[in-house]
Structure 1
């Protein structure tokens, strides 16, 4: 577990039922929520891309966090550079035992586990163009609304 001060909310699902990357994402989302961000996991900003966590900050900033649970998971990822076009800041989220020297400097680093996270290296900020920001914000809002609606009414057919 990360060594940080996080108020732990009771879990609604067993950590054993989540994959390692999902546990990292949950810890990241808890940490970012404490910083005022709203998070969505597994968002598709563009065909062929699926980010692990997209976060919308209180001032409209957009962060993408890619969760890597192992060296093999990291080396198999060929799409991460494509995520840079969809955010103001890009981060890697990894567990405490991950070899940090593997992670490129283009991204910040967040150490995480299933309960929380801590930022250990800030990410460079490259602000999105306003037209791209509108697209990303609209995609984020639609995804969040559709996910909430499907939780309230699971029998709805998904939009394609």
Structure 2
């Protein structure tokens, strides 16, 4: 399904779209708004060709960034962590020990690679399963909206 009308998307969703396009070019697959653990919801979680897991948090404004008090809790669920922001975002606000992407709805560029902190094997397995289950459920729901009625 192609979305020709991007007007209906929120700014963070547009950034997630562009970041996902970039990640796809590196052989990653990604899922938006994934819940790695109760109380956490990441904007974009991506699985790379070698099994690496990256999280991308999309921030559309200074206020959006300053209201996010959970991002440090995301670090234990990925091998690398990135912010995705647009070209007008004040990037000096973002911690230098995190990755940085600059983008828009059509693509992104990695400006700074986040440091790698490899997940333990059990956590990696759990996250790969969560990514796969979430993606499969969403695909099923697109094809058959009534099938997802029992997910709770």
TM-score range, shorter chain: over 0.9
Q: Give the 4+ runs in structure 1 shifted more than 4 A.
A: none
**Alignment partner, residue 81 of structure 1:** 72
In the TM superposition, residue 35 of structure 1 has moved relative to its aligned partner by 0.8
Count residues in correspondence. Answer: 151
Whole-angstrom CA distance in 2 between matches of 1:11 and 1:154: 18
In structure 2, relative to structure 1, the CA distance for the partners of 1:105 and 1:158 (3 Å cut) is farther
| Stretches of structure 1 lacking an aligned partner (at least 5 in a row) | 1-9
User: Normalized against structure 2, the TM-score is what?
Assistant: 0.96
Tell me, in whole angstroms, the C-alpha distance in 2 between the residues paired with 1:158 and 1:91: 34
Please report how far the alpha carbon of residue 105 of structure 1 lies from its aligned counterpart in structure 2 after TM superposition.
2.2
Whether 2:143 is the aligned partner of 1:159: answer: no
**How many angstroms apart in 2 are the aligned matches of 1:12 and 1:77?**
28
> Which residue is 2:40 aligned to?
49
**8 A Cα contact 1:43 1:53, kept in partner:** yes
Residue number among 88, 98, 114 corresponding to 1:107 in the alignment: 98
How large is the Cα RMSD of the aligned pairs? 1.2
Cα drift, residue 100 of structure 1: 0.7
Structure 2 segments unaligned to the other structure (5+ residues): none
| Residue of structure 1 in register with 2:26 after alignment | 35
Residue 136 of structure 1 corresponds to: 127
Normalised TM-score (structure 1): 0.91
Moved more, 118-127 or 101-110: 101-110
